[in-house]
Every structure is written in C-alpha cells, then in structure tokens.
Amino acid sequence: MSKEDKRVLIMEFERDRKLLMTISSQKQQLSIQIEIMKASLEELSKTKETKVYKAVGNLLVPKTVEEMKKETQERKESFELKLKTVEKQEESLLKKLNSLKAKIEGTEKEESSDEKKEKKSKK
C-alpha cells in the first residue's frame, strides 16, 4: 500500500472517529430526554389534579392530565426510536473504525517487515 493510500485511510479514520464522538453525544442527549420523559410520566401518574399546565413558548396552556400523559408517552417513544437508530449508527461506525484500524496497522506491519528485509539485503 502506498503512503498516499495510508494517508487517506488515516484521514478517513480520524473523520469517522470525530463522527463517532458526535453520535455518542447524540446518544447521551437522547438518553437524558428519555429519562426526563419517564420522570414526567411518573409525576403525571402521581398527581391528583385533573389539569396541568404545559409550557408553549412564553405561555402556560392548561391541558388535562390524560392529554399530557399521552403526549409525553408519544415523545418518549419518539426519543426511544431515535436512540435505537443512533445506536445502530454507532455500532456500524465502530465496525468500520475497527476495520480501518486493522488496515492501517496491517500496512505499518508490512512497512516494518519491508524495512527489515532491506536492512538484511544491504548486509
């Protein structure tokens, strides 16, 4: 493998590594949102009130507890679906990174064995 090919592999590896960091951050944010939705659902289940207020921009809009439970459950399910998608992306990217790493390390081993052969042939 030429030095140019190796350089391209390393650049691709670095780009994908940065992408993995972004995906991991998204995964963490989605997990936090899911936990917030779970806590909200729990509080809605505990309340004895029939109406609650939902923040919409700068306004507080009255809603029934049942409406809010349904809406919150739907948002939680949406976040869970997004989380599964992000996890699949993360898994796929990890496989790709491991493959690139193996290729890069393989070329380094080839180069070092080639250098050893050159040294032996010069003696």
Residue in 66, 33, 74, 71 with CA at minimum distance from that of residue 47: 66
Domain count, the chain: 1
Are the C-beta atoms of 66 and 50 separated by less than 8 Å?
no
Residue 8 counted as domain residue? yes
pLDDT score at 116: 63
Are the C-beta atoms of 34 and 83 separated by less than 8 Å?
yes
pLDDT score at 118: 64
Residue 106 counted as domain residue? no
Are the C-beta atoms of 104 and 13 separated by less than 8 Å?
yes
Q: Is the dihedral of CA 3, 9, 14, 15 positive or negative?
A: positive
Tokens of 115: 């250098």
Residue 110 counted as domain residue? no
Reported pTM:
0.79
Count of beta carbons in the 10 Å neighbourhood of residue 116: 10
Residue 102 counted as domain residue? no
Q: Any idea what the CATH number is for the domain that residue 31 is in?
A: 1.10.287.370
pLDDT tens-place values along the chain, 123 residues long: 788 888 999 999 999 999 999 999 999 999 999 999 999 999 999 999 999 999 999 999 999 999 999 999 999 999 999 999 999 999 999 999 999 999 888 877 666 666 666 666 665
Domain that holds residue 71: 3-97
